Amino acid sequence: MLQSREKATAAVVVAIAFAALAAPATQVATASTTTAPSAQTIMITLYASMGNPSGWGQGPLNITNPGPTLTVNQGDTIMFHLFSADGATHMLVIDLDGSGTRSSGDAVSEPFNASGTSLYYPNTPGQFTYFCGTHELSMQWGTIVVRGTAPVNDNAPWLAAGVLVLFVAVVGFAVYRWRHVPVPRKALPKRRGARNGRNAKGKGAARSRQRSGH
Ligand SMILES: [Cu+2]
């Protein structure tokens, strides 16, 4: 009777620990929505050329290979304004799957031989290669960097560590209580105490007291 009551107490303590775990997690979620920069639509202009010189540029007269390094933020909407500087047909491919070729996992524009627009939604932070889908990668390529939402990354590990320490402490205390519950004298079997008066106060009695606490 008393044993199960103590175990119920321990269970309540564990439940409180889980509640403590859940509360800061909610705060983390709230923080991420309030501190993350709001999504924006960003315009990027790119000129493509396959010769004299080949590559990409942000104007018709500054085409280089590799082309300009582009930096965007995760969650933004990127609108590319694409121009052909040489009249050839080009195609913008962002190599999201890192395969080095145009594939279904990539962000791909329509082919353009004059101008066109293309939308890109950067969802995964990281560094990717962009290239032309109709010419060799080595002729027309560049790097695009997708920045993650930094404020969330700064706080989350510390909050998580604090919550973990709290959780381990509370569960540890609950387990300690569970294993070291003192059993009142009347709960002990009467026979042992009566049969050996000396042992009842010695180590043997203490051990049997502990054992019956399980
Ligand atoms: Cu091209």
151: pLDDT strictly greater than 70: no
| pLDDT tens digits, one per residue of 186-210 | 655 655 544 544 444 444 444 444 5
Provide mean pLDDT across the span 92-109.
96
Query: In terms of domains, do 17 and 68 share one?
Result: no
Q: How many domains does one find in the chain?
A: 2
What's the gap in Å between 150 CA and the centre of ligand 1?
34
Please say which residue of 148, 169, 193 terminates a domain.
Answer: 148
What's the gap in Å between 125 CA and the centre of ligand 1?
26
Query: In terms of domains, do 163 and 71 share one?
Result: no
Token pair belonging to 56: 């990409």
Please say which residue of 131, 148, 165 terminates a domain.
Answer: 148
What's the gap in Å between 92 CA and the centre of ligand 1?
8
Residue pair 112/135 in contact by the 8 Å Cβ criterion: no
Query: In terms of domains, do 120 and 142 share one?
Result: yes
Q: How far is CA 74 from its chain centroid?
A: 13
What's the gap in Å between 194 CA and the centre of ligand 1?
98
Q: How far is CA 145 from its chain centroid?
A: 18
What's the gap in Å between 137 CA and the centre of ligand 1?
9
Q: State the CATH number of the domain containing residue 122.
A: 2.60.40.420
- Which residue(s) pair with 71 in the sheet? 145
Who contacts 195 (Cβ-Cβ below 8 Å, separation ≥6)? none
Provide mean pLDDT across the span 7-32.
49
Q: Is residue 165 a part of any domain in this protein?
A: yes
Check residue 213 and give its pLDDT. Answer: 47
Provide mean pLDDT across the span 89-115.
97
What's the gap in Å between 135 CA and the centre of ligand 1?
5
CA-closest candidate to residue 71, choices 44, 34, 108, 51: 44
**Residue 61: which domain range?**
43-148
What's the gap in Å between 148 CA and the centre of ligand 1?
29
Whole-angstrom distance, CA of residue 159 vs CA of residue 155: 6
Q: What percent of the chain has pLDDT over 70?
A: 64
- The verdict on pTM exceeding 0.75 is no
Check residue 1 and give its pLDDT. Answer: 47
Please say which residue of 132, 148, 164 terminates a domain.
Answer: 148
| pLDDT tens digits, one per residue of 20-63 | 545 444 444 444 444 456 789 999 999 999 988 999 999 999 99
